[in-house]
Amino acid sequence: MLLNNKVALVTGASRGIGRAIALELAREGATVCVNFQKNSAKAESVLSELKKVSTNPHCLVPFDTSSYEAVEKEITQLVQATKTLDILVNNAGITKDNLLLRMKESEWDEVMNTNLKGVFNCSKVAAKFMLKQRRGRMVNIASLSGEMGNPGQTNYSASKAGVIGFTKSLAKELGSRSITVNAVSPGFIQTDMTQSLNPELQAEICKNIPLGSFGTCEDIAHLVVFLASDQAKYMTGQVLGVNGGLYM
């Protein structure tokens, strides 16, 4: 197994891509800490699934990634209990789509605070521990929208483009301490986030995807496992697209 004796924190792991990442990390031997914000019933069910995968002390760590105060408190307590933090997956993200002229200031702020400030908050606190350990893996979940743009998503695209710039800068800061920082950039993946798109629009999008369909959460999770493992020890500051060829 690729991740025996490693401790991983996955933000936004109560469903969707985060849930799949949590399960794949556990299948490779990691102990997984499942972060979520609101949906405790779904997070509990992910924890039950993790317990079926291995007897490692997997746990739940509810906090709002957009609050620096909460992030600092919860990650610090977590590391006191686990004694180590080897892998951070910054996955928590939201959309509040609207055309720019209709977009409320609150829709801009909420998306930036969760998708970009949340990554700053968690990375800053985790980096403190990883620097002391002189090892670590950070994987940030960006988005195709941050690379290509998408009408109705100025807030979301800006936040994800920000995650890409953040990833490259932090990779340069932390490389000398054997901490890698990479981004995975999903295209259209079957989750709650994309289920709201009407079926006609989904069919239209698929026509432009060379591989012909939306991706699965596992398509993202397998790449995250690789980036979190020693097999990717010479990769940092990279943005890897998983988009069925929609953007190349």
* Per-residue binder mask for ligand NAP (CB under 6 A), 56-75, x = binder: --------xxx---------
Residues with Cβ within 8 Å of 243's Cβ and at least 6 positions away in sequence, in order, are 144, 185, 186, 187, 188, 209, 215
Member of 31, 121, 123, 143 binding ligand NAP (CB under 6 A): 143
Which residues between 73 and 102 bind ligand NAP (CB under 6 A)?
91-94
Q: How many residues bind ligand NAP (CB under 6 A)?
A: 33
Decide: is 39 part of the binding site for ligand NAP (CB under 6 A). yes
Name the minimum Å distance from CB 215 to ligand NAP: 8
Decide: is 140 part of the binding site for ligand NAP (CB under 6 A). no
Member of 3, 22, 24, 37 binding ligand NAP (CB under 6 A): 37
Question: If 0-12 CB within 10 Å is exposed, 13-18 middle and 19+ buried, where does residue 55 land?
Answer: exposed
Decide: is 38 part of the binding site for ligand NAP (CB under 6 A). yes
Name the minimum Å distance from CB 20 to ligand NAP: 8
Which residues between 208 and 247 bind ligand NAP (CB under 6 A)?
none
Whichever of 131 and 197 has its CB closer to ligand NAP, that residue is 197
Whichever of 131 and 246 has its CB closer to ligand NAP, that residue is 246
120-137: buried (b, 16+ CB within 10 Å) or exposed (e) per residue? bbbbebbbebbeeeebbb
Residue 140, phi-psi category: left (phi > 0), alpha (psi -120 to 50), beta (remainder) = beta
Secondary structure (3-state) at 123 = helix
Active site residue 156: yes
Which residues between 154 and 213 bind ligand NAP (CB under 6 A)?
186, 188-189, 191-194
Residues with Cβ within 8 Å of 138's Cβ and at least 6 positions away in sequence, in order, are 87, 88, 89, 90, 123, 126, 127, 130, 167, 170, 174, 179, 180, 181, 182
Count of alpha carbons within 13 Å of 2, Cβ hemisphere only?
19
Whichever of 39 and 178 has its CB closer to ligand NAP, that residue is 39
Note whether 223 and 184 are within 8 A (CB).
yes
Decide: is 15 part of the binding site for ligand NAP (CB under 6 A). yes
Facing residues of 34 across strands? 10, 60
The site for ligand NAP (CB under 6 A) is made up of 11-18, 35-39, 42, 64-66, 91-94, 114, 118, 141, 143-144, 186, 188-189, 191-194
**Residues labelled catalytic:** 156
